[in-house]
Amino acid sequence: MGTSKVSSLVLHSLTEAIAQFSADNIDDFFKQFCKLVYIITHTEPKFGILNYQFQHLMQEIKKEVNKSKNQKNWKKIVLDTINIFHKEAKQERKQLLKSSEEIKVNKKTILIHDHSNTVLNVLKHLKRKKQEFHIIISEQDYEKTHDNIEQLHEEGISFEVVPSYMLSVMHDKIDMVFFGGLTLKDDMNFVMDPGTYGIISEFHSINIPVYMFMNTAKFSLWKSAPRGEIFTQTHKRKHVSKDITYNRIKCSHDRVPSYFFHKIITNEGVLSNEQLKTLFLVKLEDYGHLHTEECKKHI
């Protein structure tokens, strides 16, 4: 499940919880809500989109409550504000799809590797816009690869599957590469699926354009630790036919420099690397302080 879907589920759950929440006044709600914000902002790995939404949500709720002449009606105000967030998120997704139309894909062959709902939605959107293109799926985890296959097949998009270790012999067949990501860090590195760094750097080195598709709400608007959000799992495995035991190591993510991407397609337009940096810094200044003074009083 992608981070956007996780965010949507969290907001839906929050709506249900608030509807059943019994409190005498808005201050009681803020005390509990600030504790929730604290948990979200201190849980590893951090979700940029959740941090962004909950900080923004706190600001908007306070603003709407202060504007209201009847603060006893606080629950309706909070639920209405969350509903506006749902609508804005839906509109942002539509805006990203609109931005994707600037990429000329007709009669092109596109490589995809990670399991990105954003990329899949872009491909479906472009197909419905009567663009004809062919997809090469770089094979990875069984479940992720087969979900890509199922969704492309259902949409009627032509595709073929190639093992990732054979991509070097496919260079002359590939016109462009599409990727999605989990977040963008303040060091201008995208956090992405494991294995993506090698593929992206490979195509960057031979000047085949690589495109990133990401909603700006996913940006991680805080100071990141070096190599943060990458976790390693070690599992004991046995050889299938011999008495051999070994450790199998799997990492959670790769970090990929933004300059590896030809363009970054967002809900705020198609950006160059320099434009991305400028936009990130603006958002960092606007939304970078996750703990409001209101929350600091309650934690």
Higher-confidence residue of 76 and 189: namely: 189
pLDDT at 291 over 50: no
Task: Give the closest residue to 99 by CA, choosing from 121, 116, 115.
Answer: 121
| Cα 27 from Cα 31, distance rounded (Å) | 6
Mean pLDDT of 60-89: 79
- Judged by average pLDDT, the poorest of 22-26, 107-111, 136-140, 244-248 is 22-26
Confidence of residue 152 (pLDDT cuts 50, 70, 90): very high
- The stretch 221-239 carries a mean pLDDT of 73
The pLDDT of residue 266 is 98
Report how far residue 167's alpha carbon sits from residue 109's, in angstroms, rounded to the nearest whole number.
Answer: 13
Is the predicted pLDDT of residue 114 greater than 90, yes or no?
no
Q: Domain 103-283 is classified in which CATH homologous superfamily? A: Translation initiation factor eif-2b; domain 2 (3.40.50.10470)
- Residue 245 or 295, more confident: 245
Mean of the per-residue pLDDT values of the chain: 86
Rg over alpha carbons for the chain, rounded to the nearest Å, is 22
Q: Are 249 and 234 in contact (CB under 8 A)?
A: yes
Q: Where in the chain is the domain with CATH 1.20.120?
A: 3-97+289-296
Over range 136-159, report the average pLDDT. 93
Mean pLDDT, residues 161-166: 92
Least confident segment among 81-85, 152-156, 208-212: 81-85
Q: Compute the distance between CA of residue 173 and CA of residue 204 in angstroms, rounded to an integer.
A: 15
Collapsing DSSP to helix, strand or coil, 134 comes out as strand
Domain 3-97+289-296 fold: Four Helix Bundle (Hemerythrin (Met), subunit A) (1.20.120)
The set of residues, in sequence order, having a beta carbon less than 8 Å from that of 98 and lying 6+ positions away, is none
pTM (two decimals): 0.85
pLDDT at 64: 76
- Percentage with pLDDT > 90 across the chain: 46
pLDDT value of position 70: 65
Structure tokens at 35: 């504790």
Nearest Cα neighbor of 260 from 177, 168, 173, 136 is 177
Query: Alpha carbon 230 to chain centroid distance?
Result: 15
Q: How confident is the model at residue 181 (pLDDT cuts 50, 70, 90)?
A: very high
The percent helix, strand, coil of the chain (3-state, each to 5) is: 50, 20, 30
- Is the model's pLDDT at 296 over the cut of 50? yes
- What's the mean pLDDT in 1-15? 76
pLDDT at 187: 92
Lowest-pLDDT range of 71-75, 258-262, 272-276: 71-75
Residue range(s) in the chain whose domain bears CATH number 3.40.50.10470: 103-283
Contact 189, 258 (CB under 8 A): yes
Identify the band that residue 257 occupies on the pLDDT scale cut at 50, 70 and 90.
very high
The predicted structure's pLDDT at residue 227: 58
Distance CA(158)–CA(192), nearest Å, equals 25
Q: What is the pLDDT of residue 136?
A: 98
- For the segment 37-55, the average pLDDT, to the nearest whole number, is 76
Q: What is the mean pLDDT of residues 195-210?
A: 95
